[in-house]
């Protein structure tokens, strides 16, 4: 079984990188248009709503994105289709339940949790978006598992931001509610297109989609694996985004908007990792299942070299250009430059250590990573609640960046211990 070399990774990744760069440019254009059309307070309110969406979607998906890649990738075509049907059905039901809860408890969530009465008006849209985003995410993962990575990236934000930007250009907004409504329309279109893409793939392969015969057995296997990955996904989200939710009770919506822009700019650096993961995750699942640990390690080294170089260059470019970028958003966002620079440290570790989290999950070591990430994130959350009331935005950025670095270095240690050190000449192909 041939592993992916540096040249093959670069060749395959270059097309995907172009798609992701276009998506990131559209996302940046979307937030730029919003920053120009909305005042800082309304932009901050929208940022808070979008962060709540990230958490509601995480609870709805329950780690099923990674599970679908792992289960579908290592199965034959027919079995993989059955796994998809089971996973997307379960995810849809889960998303509807979460959406209902968000709608019913909109007032308590807005007032009690975040001290932001205006947020209650946006939460029903967040509920709808939870369903749309969950379906799109599962469909994107299924496409990745079946090696249709380019299509998967198109429905992972690209289509949504295309329509959202077109709406903003033609029909400018003056409130966070209008902006979120546009995003909801766009997410619905993207969700429908994702189903059409996936059905066309199954149709071309002459595969019928139906619930598996061993429904009960497969469902319990799905739950058994997803519960660990759900915790991992939730902890990863908490590391990167929880600071926004905590800050909402201690800073103005304007400051929250600036912090949100800083966070989004720093996240641009993670795109090479997203692309490499999309290519390599199914490969890791197959290689580990077949005990090709030597090729597993070689693939990991090849991808990590690329990520280290790209990550280092990207961090340097953004570090020295961030002041100019923020100036285009408006004077209300210029002070966020120091926040971006702090967050870039954590993002550099995220790339420099490679796809270590993906390696552990695809190799069946989700329990190990879950234990580690729960411990690190718990300390992270405790620190956020202690220091944000005292030091505000700076505390949020420093703690978030530090937690990201520690989490990735820890994952790298366990990849080396559990996978790399088991490589012997006898098990290589």
Query: What is the model's pLDDT at position 200?
Result: 83
Highest mean pLDDT range out of 14-28, 80-94, 110-124, 277-291?
Answer: 110-124
Q: Domain limits of the chain?
A: 6-427
Backbone angles phi, psi at 423, to 5 degrees: -70, 125
Query: And the tokens for 340?
Result: 């971006």
Query: What is the model's pLDDT at position 103?
Result: 95
Tell me how far apart the alpha carbons of residues 282 and 197 are, in angstroms, rounded to a whole number. Answer: 19
Closest by CA position to 363, among listed 5, 81, 69: 69
Q: With bands split at pLDDT 50, 70 and 90, how would you rate the model's confidence at 8?
A: low
Model pTM greater than 0.85?
Answer: no
Residue 429 scores a pLDDT above 50: no
Write the Ramachandran bin of 208: left for phi over 0, alpha for psi from -120 to 50, otherwise beta.
beta
Residue 144 scores a pLDDT above 90: no
Q: What is the DSSP letter of 158?
A: I
Query: And the tokens for 388?
Result: 């944000």
Residue 342 CB-density burial (10 A; 0-12 exposed, 13-18 middle, 19+ buried): buried
Residue 427 CB-density burial (10 A; 0-12 exposed, 13-18 middle, 19+ buried): middle
For 374-392, what is each residue's pLDDT tens digit?
A: 999 999 999 999 999 999 9
Q: With bands split at pLDDT 50, 70 and 90, how would you rate the model's confidence at 214?
A: low
For 309-328, what is each residue's pLDDT tens digit?
A: 888 998 899 899 988 888 88
Average pLDDT over all residues of the chain: 84
Interior angle at CA 191, CA 186 and CA 196, nearest 5: 125
Tell me how far apart the alpha carbons of residues 139 and 59 are, in angstroms, rounded to a whole number. Answer: 17
Residue 338 scores a pLDDT above 80: yes
Residue 149 scores a pLDDT above 80: no
- What is the distance of C-alpha 159 from the center of its chain? 16
Query: What is the model's pLDDT at position 75?
Result: 67
Query: What is the model's pLDDT at position 2?
Result: 44
Backbone angles phi, psi at 86, to 5 degrees: -65, -45
Task: Give the Å distances, CA to CA, from 31 to 37, 216, 318.
Answer: 10, 44, 17
For 60-89, what is each residue's pLDDT tens digit?
A: 998 888 788 777 776 666 677 778 888 888
């Amino acid at each position: 079984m041939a592993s992916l070399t540096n040249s093959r990774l670069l060749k395959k990744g270059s097309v995907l990188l172009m798609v992701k760069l276009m998506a990131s440019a559209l996302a940046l254009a979307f937030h730029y248009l919003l920053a120009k059309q909305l005042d800082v307070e309304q932009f901050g309110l929208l940022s808070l709503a979008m962060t709540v969406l990230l958490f509601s979607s995480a609870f709805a998906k329950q780690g099923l994105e990674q599970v679908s890649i792992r289960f579908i990738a290592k199965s034959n075509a027919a079995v993989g289709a059955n796994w998809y049907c089971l996973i997307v059905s379960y995810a849809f039901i889960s998303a509807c339940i979460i959406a209902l809860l968000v709608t019913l408890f909109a007032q308590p969530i807005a007032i009690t949790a975040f001290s932001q009465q205006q947020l209650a008006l946006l939460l029903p849209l967040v509920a709808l978006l939870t369903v749309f985003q969950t379906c799109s995410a599962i469909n994107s993962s299924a496409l990745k598992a079946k090696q249709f990575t380019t299509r998967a990236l198109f429905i992972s934000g690209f289509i949504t931001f295309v329509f959202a930007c077109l709406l903003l250009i033609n029909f400018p907004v003056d409130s966070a509610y209008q902006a979120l409504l546009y995003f909801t329309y766009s997410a619905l279109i993207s969700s429908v297109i994702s189903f059409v893409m996936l059905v066309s793939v199954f149709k071309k392969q002459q595969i019928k989609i139906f619930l598996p015969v061993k429904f009960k057995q497969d469902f319990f296997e799905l739950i058994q694996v997803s519960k660990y990955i759900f915790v991992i996904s939730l902890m990863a989200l908490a590391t990167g985004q929880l600071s926004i939710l905590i800050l909402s009770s201690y800073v103005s919506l304007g400051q929250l908007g600036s912090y949100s822009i800083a966070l989004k700019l720093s996240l641009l650096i993670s795109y090479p990792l997203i692309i490499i993961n999309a290519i390599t995750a199914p490969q890791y699942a197959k290689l580990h299942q077949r005990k090709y640990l030597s090729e597993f390690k070689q693939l990991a080294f090849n991808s990590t070299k690329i990520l280290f170089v790209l990550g280092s260059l990207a961090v340097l470019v953004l570090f020295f250009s961030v002041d100019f970028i923020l100036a285009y958003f408006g004077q209300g966002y210029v002070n966020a430059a120091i926040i971006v620079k702090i967050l870039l440290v954590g993002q550099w570790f995220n790339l420099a250590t490679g796809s270590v989290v993906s390696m552990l999950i695809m190799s069946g070591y989700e329990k190990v990573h879950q234990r580690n990430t729960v411990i690190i994130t718990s300390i992270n959350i405790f620190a956020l609640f202690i220091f944000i009331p005292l030091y505000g935005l700076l505390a949020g950025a420093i703690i978030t960046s530090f937690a990201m670095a520690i989490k990735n270095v820890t994952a790298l240690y366990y990849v080396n211990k559990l996978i790399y050190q088991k490589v012997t000449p006898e098990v290589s192909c």
